[in-house]
Each structure stands twice: as structure tokens, then as C-alpha cells.
Structure 1
Amino acid sequence: MKLYIKSAAAAVVLMGGMGVAVAENVVVVQPEQETVVREYVKKQPLASVNLLGVELKLGSPVPDTVELREVPNVKYRVAVINDQTVLVDPDTHQIVEVLH
């Protein structure tokens, strides 16, 4: 019985550590930042870049050829790809948010 409890406790600790590791890789875009981006795109329309075969989902890479526009007071850059507004991490060129 003691062995079972120790194993269960170890599993919980290991799973908790994995959860933290996954959580560290998740980017959280605050609603205020989304609002700022939406307003920016309304005032400064961006031409949509059509990219065949590019999935617009979290973590998808954006080619270096796509112009990333800086938005004041927002860490991430904005682009419009296939008529979808996306936020992109300027360091990794990966999509961190797809705005609907």
C-alpha cells in the first residue's frame, strides 16, 4: 500500500512538472492587446498576403518575406495572411494568436 501511494505521489509530481513546462510555452495575449491590434488594423489597413499551404494556427512559422508591422504598446507584430489577422512573435516568426 505504501509503495502504491509513493508511486501515485511521484506520478502527480511528474505530471505537475510537465504541466508547468507546457504552460511556460503558451503565449497569453491579453484582451487589451487584442483590442489595440484590432483598432490599429482598422486605422492602418494592411494588405493581405496570400500564402498557399500555410496553416494559420498557434506555433505555425511565418516566412521571413511576410512584412510584420509593429503595433504601439504591443510586444508582438501583426500581419494579415490569407485575409486573417495574426500576431507573430518577432523573434521566432511563429504565430502566437489568430484574431477572428
Structure 2
Amino acid sequence: MRNHLSAAAAGILLLVGVSAAAAQDVIIQPEHETVIREYVKKKPMASISLLGVELNIGTALPETVELYEVPDVQYRYVIVDGRTVLVDPSTRKIVKVYD
């Protein structure tokens, strides 16, 4: 009986963790997606390389990385290894990586 309770508790904790992680996802409105893609095409920046930094959602970029503004969008962008990376400027965390 004790093992069943432990397994149930572990399952609940796992579900709570997954829910918390999903709550951190940023939803970018389709009209902002279009603005971002078009702006980056019109104003291409040089691609940089960040050794040891994985381009995952939630990864914070170093302070040394210059972020570029997209008009009328709350996020900033940078080009890393040829990929456009959208970043929350207040936390410097990656919110989206475009291929």
C-alpha cells in the first residue's frame, strides 16, 4: 500500500512539474510572427557564435550579446549560428528559435 501511495505522489508531482513548465511557454501572436519574420529579412544582422550556449527556450543569453529591437514587438532578437533567436529583454531568456 505504501508503494502505491509513493507512486501516486510521484505521478502527481510529475504532472504538476509538466504543468508549470507549460505555463512558462510564450505564445507569440500570429501577426507578431509575421512582423518579426519580415523585419529580420529586411534588417539582417551578422550571425554570432556562442560556444557552450544551447539555443533552447528558457536559456539566458550572456549580457555581452547585443539584442536588436523589432518595432512594435516586446521581444528582441539576435542571429546565432544562422538562426533567429527571439529573447525577452528583461530576463535575456530565449522565448523562440526560428530555423
Distance of 1:99 and 1:30 partners within structure 2 = 15
- What is the letter of the counterpart of residue 83 of structure 1? G
Mark the structure with the bigger radius of gyration.
Answer: 1
Following TM superposition, by how much is the alpha carbon of 1:20 offset from its aligned partner in structure 2, in angstroms?
Answer: 5.6
Which is worse superposed, 37-46 or 27-36?
27-36
Q: What is the CA-CA distance between 1:31 and the residue it aligns to?
A: 2.2
TM-score by length of 2: 0.76
TM-score normalised by structure 1 residue count: 0.75
CA RMSD of aligned residues (A): 2.3
After superposition, give the CA deviation of every residue in 1:70-90 in whole Å (9 maximum; x if it has no partner): 111111101101111010000
Q: Secondary structure at the match of 1:54?
A: coil
Aligned to 2:38: 39
Q: Structure 1 residue 69: deviation in Å? A: 0.7
Partner amino acid, structure 1, of 2:90: D
Residue aligned with 1:34, SS = helix
State yes or no: 1:49 paired with 2:22.
no
Q: Equivalences for 1:1-100 in 2 at 5 Å?
A: 18=16, 21-100=20-99
Quote the Cα distance in structure 1 between the aligned partners of 2:77 and 2:30.
15
**Counterpart of 1:58 in structure 2: which amino acid?**
I
Unaligned runs of 5+ in 2: 1-8
For residue 61 of structure 1, what is the amino acid of its counterpart? A
Q: Distance in 1 between matches of 2:21 and 2:50?
A: 29
Instruction: State percent identity of aligned pairs.
Output: 54
Q: How many correspondences in the alignment?
A: 91
